[in-house]
A = this chain, B = another copy of it.
């Protein structure tokens, strides 16, 4: 066991809102970094983002800011802005790190590098050229909504998961750690920009979508819940519930054929079509007839019966669940990823920690109340007295703790 948290000694100042930058900071906080989210007095534009607890506390904000400390400064006042620079200067050898999606010049790299020459500064923005964009406009611009959803559909299907924001936040965590590694070796800081639109384009490229458009020159068709180039689809079961079934290898297919008693019909069909369903391409080409043959098997069984009959096989499958099912069926309670926390304004709930299971990390910790750590951070990093801090609060330079 390592007693030391992986990111022990790292201090990050985060001036952020919405998903990407807060998730990036939280990812580091979950591994032991001291992440101080600094907001304008009264909070950022994301403070009241839905869903809300009955108290009005945002479940979104509290979800994305767990384990951080919260400081509020008056960004409209030069003295408030200067305090951020003072915190940066005082943040120690593992500090001098700023993560932000705010666009103000006083928060940009050139201004802050004057305070801390070894600054590591990561700027999240919409487009590389500085134009604004958010997950939902980036997603529209990138090609996925027009190939998502039922074949019969004509318009786009937006995602509910802001996948680009999530990827962007994780890339931000990677970028800060990579830059800090270099700084430890060379002493040099880094100015990093990370555009949400570039995250989407990069991932689309990594997965072959951009190569396909360039090399093959056609658009992938909309294929409903099928998996492109493979055999995977949802099936309705006897109870009306759906299951997702995924066949990636020859063995998966052989196991599925055997478990469903369809080995002979599939073999006949392979002869008829001069196909080999052990090959991924042939499974994909003939996906409609293969899944049509499978449908009655699933339609005649409840999920429990599917589970029984596929047990011990290599077939990959899952019941479709709702978020409330995850609560009701005990999935959340049974998974050590989640632990009970008491979140101010929300109450007791099961919250996830980092999915990176490694020693030296703790379970989930609540998000701070906005501004709750202002006094402690100013005292701890800047050595300000309670009287100094009280005076700053009274003058409106900092928020009340």
Contacts and interface: CB of A to CB of B under 8 A. Distances in A.
Nearest to A58: B208
A61 to B, nearest CB: 8
A215 B337 contact: no
Interface hub of A6, A128, A284, A319 (most chain B Cβ within 10 A): A6
Q: How many copies does the complex hold?
A: 2
B350 A210 contact: yes
A323 B209 contact: yes
A345 to B, nearest CB: 10
A211 B349 contact: yes
Given A170-B171, A205-B63, A229-B49, A242 B356 contact: no
Contacts of A314: 132
Contact of A316 (B9, B134, B198, B319): B134
A114 interface: no
Nearest to A228: B50
A118 to B, nearest CB: 11
A346 interface: yes
Interface stretch (A23-31, A269-277, A375-383, A388-396): A23-31
A335 B50 contact: no
Given A53-B215, A139-B244, 14 more contacts: A48-B280, A48-B281, A60-B207, A64-B208, A134-B248, A143-B325, A173-B174, A190-B358, A191-B358, A192-B358, A198-B352, A204-B323, A212-B323, A219-B324
